[in-house]
Amino acid sequence: MTDFEPRDPDFERKVRDSFARQRVMSTLGATLTRVAPGLVEITLPHRVDLTQQHGYLHAGIAGTIADSAGGYAGFSLMPPGSTVLSVEYRVHLLAPARGERFVARGRVVKPGRTLTVCELEVEAIEGERRTRCVIGTQTLICLPEAADRPAG
Amino acid sequence: MTDFEPRDPDFERKVRDSFARQRVMSTLGATLTRVAPGLVEITLPHRVDLTQQHGYLHAGIAGTIADSAGGYAGFSLMPPGSTVLSVEYRVHLLAPARGERFVARGRVVKPGRTLTVCELEVEAIEGERRTRCVIGTQTLICLPEAADRPAG
Amino acid sequence: MTDFEPRDPDFERKVRDSFARQRVMSTLGATLTRVAPGLVEITLPHRVDLTQQHGYLHAGIAGTIADSAGGYAGFSLMPPGSTVLSVEYRVHLLAPARGERFVARGRVVKPGRTLTVCELEVEAIEGERRTRCVIGTQTLICLPEAADRPAG
Amino acid sequence: MTDFEPRDPDFERKVRDSFARQRVMSTLGATLTRVAPGLVEITLPHRVDLTQQHGYLHAGIAGTIADSAGGYAGFSLMPPGSTVLSVEYRVHLLAPARGERFVARGRVVKPGRTLTVCELEVEAIEGERRTRCVIGTQTLICLPEAADRPAG
């Protein structure tokens, strides 16, 4: 499916567990719809209570699912016992985020022991029509020997 | 307060009206806490249902309030009868977004007839402690003779 | 070759003429090695006088040829009688820029009447080995009825 | 002068030595005009052989001196025996880079053991007039126990 060999054979369960702990994802109604080594998709149905002033999905919410998709794409390739943080991300807003649902895709471009670079995109889907409304890139850092859960 | 002269004397009402139509802002619990020419602040109290896997505010939500703060900072300087769209934004995540509340600040660096560039930041506030957890920059476009509301 | 239809039938000559006026390109020793609608490549042979402290091509010089490649990819799709300016660009430095020569590629992702978004990359070539050392994205603006040459 | 305490008492000499090994800086005619902890300035006189098609300094060359200024601002705070690499940088081109000379300034926003974030700017100077033509941000990585010179 992808060109990468995960260093953690249990990568899918690890990603799904961590996603389930991202409380904001269930608040938004986003679900994890694909987990492959170095490639993750998150799907968000349209909701009027997530819109900006023109009635489209707020760019920041599109950025939120893109950031998580990229973060988990990177996390899927990291070794057991580590966690991931976004260092920075940037998004271009190519078209209004108008659709029935949105699919955010994060794809690792360059995995690394410390830093990983991902490409991000969000597609808006309306019936048969798919419009790429966001593209972006992201830098992640792998924190070895750090728990992927609250410190408490 | 700021160095800019608004071209719309009614800039504050215009910004507040538009913010009130950003449905996502009330969904998140964010409020507009400062509107000056070229400078806007949005405040978001901490909520556990907006967190990522370590229990901090999700970077994308910090990005969402930063994007809106910048967008409205730019909008405050745009002429009557126009609307604003984000072209792109990028954020650096300097520190975990941990605090009782978060203040996003957008500040116009370079206003323009078509494009406006803003600086973004988010501070996490915990008692007396203020930590700058996000910095970023953003490009906005002014759409003249376009309504700042749903087309419907 | 690409999916785009140029609005200027004379796009190749226009791009080549403008490139020839970018004095910095001949100073660096860069040449235009591919011009297609929405896709431009610039090739730069390695030169020790363009290196950074470790002896690799300076990231900024890789960024310079990437910025021009993207700018001309966008310019190739712009109407006659207009000119192009970079609004912003960003580059990720994936690997040291070490090689005999470097090929920068700019590809239009989203053309627009006012704004165009491009993807950028630079490959380092050493014998048979090609290493993608830079990726990035860029926003361009089309200035209609503006000369693509010095005002003087 | 700045708020940072360097971890290398010999930071200024270290920065000046490394800058002197960046062959591209002397090729461009750029000099190091300020070195303080976390703050570095590089000055470049205007040269017609560094221009783009409208006769202004090429955005990529402005980006090159900004990238080096930020890199050395970060390097000034890194411990002895380490070297620095740019991970990514982005620049907004606020105004045409037109002037007698250009001053690039890199300023550390957040120093870190592994990653450092800097703000970048370039001013164009023409007589008494100073125009901020570039702003940007940059991520650097500190490589401990790595030589700041060619491997050979």
What are the tens digits of pLDDT across the range B74-131? 999 999 999 999 999 999 999 999 999 999 999 999 999 999 999 999 999 999 999 9
- Under DSSP, the state recorded for C145 is T
Chain A interface includes D88 (CB < 8 A): yes
For B20-38, give one letter per residue: b (16+ CB within 10 A) or e: eebbbbebbebebeebbbb
Query: Backbone phi, then psi, for A76, in 5-degree steps?
Result: -60, -25
Is D90 within 8 Å of B92 when comparing Cβ atoms? no
Q: Do C54 and D150 touch (CB under 8 A)?
A: yes
- B27 in helix, strand or coil? helix
- Output phi, psi for B19, to 5 deg: -55, -40
The SS3 call for residue B75 is helix
> Which residue is it, tokens 């300094």?
D57
Question: Considering chain C, what percentage of its residues have pLDDT values greater than 70?
Answer: 98
D94 contacts chain A (CB < 8 A) = no
H-helix or E-strand containing A82? Answer: strand A82-93
Which candidate in D52, D82, D121, D139 is best for mutational testing of the C interface (most C CBs within 10 A)? Answer: D52
State mean pLDDT over B67-79.
98
Pair type for strands D115-126 and D101-110: antiparallel
- The reply to whether residue D51 touches residue C92, judged by beta carbons under 8 angstroms, is no
> Residue B150: its pLDDT value, please?
87
- Select from B22, B46, B53 the residue whose CB has the most chain A CBs within 10 Å, as the one to mutate to test that interface: B53
pLDDT score for B145 = 83
Residues of C in contact with B114 (CB under 8 A): 114, 141
Confidence class for position B152, pLDDT limits 50, 70, 90? low
- Chain D residues 129-148 within an 8 A CB cutoff of chain B: 132, 135-137, 139
Nearest to A60 by CA among A102, A19, A100: A102
Tens digit of each residue's pLDDT (9 = 90 or more) over B4-33: 999 999 999 999 999 999 999 999 999 999
pLDDT in tens, chain A (152 residues): 578 999 999 999 999 999 999 999 999 999 999 999 999 999 999 999 999 999 999 999 999 999 999 999 999 999 999 999 999 999 999 999 999 999 999 999 999 999 999 999 999 999 999 999 999 999 999 999 888 998 75
What's the pLDDT tens digit per position in A120-136? 999 999 999 999 999 99
In the numeric block, which tokens belong to residue A144?
A: 């070895």
Say yes or no to pLDDT of B1 above 90: no
Interface contact D137-B110, CB threshold 8 A: no
Phi, psi of B98 (to 5 degrees): -120, 120
Mutation pick from B87, B90, B92, B132 vs chain D, by most beta carbons of D within 10 Å, is: B92
Torsional class of D71: left (φ above 0), alpha (ψ -120 to 50), beta (otherwise)? alpha
With an 8 Å Cβ cutoff, are C63 and D67 in contact? yes
Distance (Å, rounded) from C-alpha D11 to C-alpha C53? 16
Residue D44 has φ and ψ, to the nearest 5°, of -130, 115
Alpha carbon separation from B127 to B54, B56, C25 (Å, rounded): 21, 16, 55
**Residue at token pair 């712009």:** C78
Q: Could you tell me how many residues make up chain B?
A: 152
Q: CA A9, A10, A12, A18 torsion: positive or negative?
A: negative
Chain C residues touching residue A139 (CB < 8 angstroms): 92
> Does pLDDT of C151 surpass 80?
no
A90 contacts D141? CB cut-off 8 A: no
- Quick one: chain C helix, strand, coil %, rounded to 5? 25, 45, 35
Q: What percent of chain B has pLDDT over 70?
A: 97
List the alpha helices (DSSP H) in C1-130: 11-21, 23-28, 59-75
Looking up tokens 């690409």 gives C2
3-state DSSP call for residue A45? strand
Q: What is the DSSP string of B79-147?
A: PTT-EEEEEEEEEEE-S---SSEEEEEEEEEE--SSEEEEEEEEEEEETTEEEEEEEEEEEEEEETT--
| Chain C CB contacts of D135 below 8 Å | none
Rounded Cα distance between B37 and B35, Å, is 7
Model pLDDT, residue C152: 58
Q: Which residues have a Cβ under 8 Å from the Cβ of B90 and sit 6 or more positions away?
A: A88, A89, A90, A91, B136, B137, B138, C90, D90, D137
Evaluate if residue D66 carries a pLDDT over 70. yes
Chain B residues close to D109, C-beta within 8 Å: 92, 94, 135
What is the pLDDT at residue B21? 97
Instruction: Specify the amino acid at residue B37.
Output: P
Kindly indicate the confidence band of residue C47, based on its pLDDT and cuts at 50, 70 and 90. very high
Q: Using CB atoms, which residue from B88, B115, B117 is nearest to C141?
A: B115
